[in-house]
Chains A and B, each alone.
Chain A
Amino acid sequence: MEKGEIVAVIGPNGAGKTTLFNLITGVLKPENGKVFFKGEDITGLPSYEICKKGISRSFQVVNVFQRLSIFENVQIAILSRERRTWNLFTPSSRLAVEETNEILESVGLMGKKGRTTGLISHGDRKVLEIAMALGGNPELLILDEPTAGMAPEETSRCIGLIKDLSGKRGLTILFCEHDMEIVFGIANRIMVMVRGGTIIQGSCNEVRANQAVQEAYLGGSDVC
């Protein structure tokens, strides 16, 4: 992946997209092969170390701190990046407030920041997922099905957000998605996975034209 790129990973269910992300972010340890980030071998590092190297991710299934407010969810991510979680005596209500607000503003959750995350809508939680990943101020942002389960208008809001992040912040984004409209709409490059392996990497047009992809993934030429 190049800096500033948006790369989409696609493939049928069970192709290994989430597993790939788990390998990169240290949730799982690879049996073979190595993971490199900025020329550095990060294979098998614990996930908190990998996060400090500048890789943040959001999850396919919502994975947030349920009993805390939206604000606190993002704030923890920032405090953790600034290595302040060993601070025992300063009230956290005064720390990293500005940056947290900035991130919430940019993803459009500012109006709801006091609400407990167990209570907010699914779409908002998916956006919060991204906001938390941003709290780590990453260079590489990994989004695992960012729009899964969203209502149409939420989906378009989320796509706008992803484009914004790449455009304004210059983030490199790796994401996977089942909705082809989204994939072809925002990705610079697409990587197709089937049964744990990559069958092709290339631009949208290359992938669309590829025979193997059509057979393996789209299941025949009569689809779209």
Chain B
Amino acid sequence: MLKNTSGGNGRIVGGAVIVLLFLLPLFLPRFYIYLISIILLTGLLATSLNLPLGYGGIFQFHHAVFYGVGAYAAALMITKSGLSPWVGFVVGPFAAAFLSLIMGLICIRLSKLYFGMLQISLGSLVWIIVYRWYSFTGGDNGIHGIPVPEIISSQNNAYYFTLLVTLLSLWALYKIINSPFGSALQGIRDNPVRSGMIGINVKLHQLMVLVIAGFFAGVAGSLFIVVDTAVFPDMLFWTLSLEVLIMCLLGGWFTFLGPMLGAAVIISLRTFVSGFTDYWTLPLGILMMLVIFFLPNGILGYIQDKLYGKIAEQAEAVEQTDLAQPAVKES
């Protein structure tokens, strides 16, 4: 959790990183600015997934659907309605949140893996509609050349806009995790039965977190239009969901910034390794295995454990008790 690092040092480092991010366009070439924009918005997508996944213990397997639907809703609004693109950027996240509500209402009846399986099915249904409905969504061609407001159309300005919105969203997500709602959510993750017993309406809280996560996935989707001026069906294909899930696990799903770090690692890997070989997933697979064996709490989780040594022992103790009492969790 970020709150472990939010002491004096954490703030200074965080502030320095933000200032550096704002200064980057002054000396980095265009390609890298584009790359960092993509990392930022994908990181936001992963962080929004981590809200139900890492903090809520909900197996949201098909999160990319909300990213894609947010992007498509914004793109269709912009290209079909003739309204200002800004309207599209607002509609996108809300459309994603709405879809999340509908899918959540259906899936929330199930728990754990069954939730995840049903969600993949429903998400794939949405994907196939987008993929096949040529007259409306452009089918597998997607939608290209989406007009973007003048002020954020240059690449640097698109970068600044993405950075600003990402930071604001992360701030909001951080607030949510540390609010009473966030506490209740973590309680539900650790022990849904007990949460009900102290008066928390478990399903309603889970539904709420899914809607919030869907909304911020939609924000990320809208940002993709700003950066790339295009949308395509791959944005809501399940392989992207898997990639985002891996980002959370790789970076550390019990930490706030872990998913962002995971996004940076995976996107950099894909970009730079695929320059040498088509099989860029090979090093990713090896990296993933190393992480699973040696850093079960993810990269950032590991760093935090090292910085605050006792937390490592705690996590271990938690895992042992988890293993020792599976009946409690299931009942």
Contact = CB atoms under 8 A, between A and B. Distances in A.
Interface of A: 25-27, 46-48, 51-52, 56-57, 59, 61-68, 72-73, 75-77, 79-81, 84-93, 95, 116, 118-119, 132-133, 135-136
Given A77-B198, A85-B180, A89-B175, A63 B313 contact: no
A116 B198 contact: no
A174 B174 CA distance: 41
Contact of B183 (A27, A47, A92, A119): A92
Given A63-B328, A80-B198, A85-B205, 15 more contacts: A47-B193, A59-B194, A63-B194, A66-B318, A66-B322, A67-B318, A68-B190, A77-B198, A79-B183, A80-B195, A80-B200, A85-B180, A92-B178, A136-B198, A136-B199
A222 B202 CA distance: 50
B92 interface: no
Interface in B261-293: none
25 contacts: A26-B196, A61-B327, A64-B190, A64-B191, A65-B186, A66-B321, A67-B186, A67-B189, A67-B254, A68-B190, A76-B200, A77-B198, A77-B199, A80-B184, A85-B180, A85-B205, A87-B181, A91-B175, A92-B178, A92-B179, A116-B311, A116-B314, A118-B314, A119-B313, A136-B198
B176 A92 contact: no
Contacts of A25: 197
B176 A89 contact: yes
B25 to A, nearest CB: 32
Given A61-B327, A88-B175, A92-B178, A80 B199 contact: yes
Contacts of B314: 116, 118-119
B187 interface: yes
A45 B298 CA distance: 41
B104 interface: no
B190 A91 contact: no
Contacts of A133: 198
Nearest to B1: A67
B251 interface: no
A121 to B, nearest CB: 11
Nearest to B55: A67
Contacts of A52: 199
Interface in B153-198: 175-176, 178-184, 186-187, 189-191, 193-198
A126 B186 CA distance: 20
B9 interface: no
A88 B183 contact: no
B201 interface: yes
A57 B325 CA distance: 19
Contacts of B195: 76, 80
B102 interface: no
B191 A63 contact: yes
